[in-house]
Structure 1
Amino acid sequence: MALTLWVDGDAAACGRQPNRAARGLIALNRPATLPYIGDVVFTDTSDADGNPHGSAALRL
């Protein structure tokens, strides 16, 4: 399963808080050296047209 993390590029500028749950999940698979700020969206693999799909295996 490929897991893609989408982040809000403006979250830090808008004063959003670090997302500890997202950082913890990513840290299970690789070192998380930077905090993820604000809301994040995880998607699974893309369809044939390249459109991302939500992961049925991941629920936070």
Structure 2
Amino acid sequence: MRLYLDSADVRGVVGADVRPGGALTALLAALPSLLGREWGTPDTLDDPHCRYVVDLTGW
């Protein structure tokens, strides 16, 4: 599932790919610290709703 997040620490909307269930609550609590860094996104990003995408499915 892709969550769309906006943070004052990161320019633009960030798309975070996560697995629903399990530790999703812990992931949501940790997201502000994870978004404190710039996330690289390829120029071929196919999601018009966000500027960056981070894959947190293995987190």
TM range (shorter): under 0.3
Larger Rg, first or second structure (1 or 2): 1
Instruction: Answer 1 or 2: which has greater strand percent.
Output: 2
Instruction: Answer 1 or 2: which has greater helix percent.
Output: 2
TM-score by length of 1: 0.25
TM-score by length of 2: 0.25
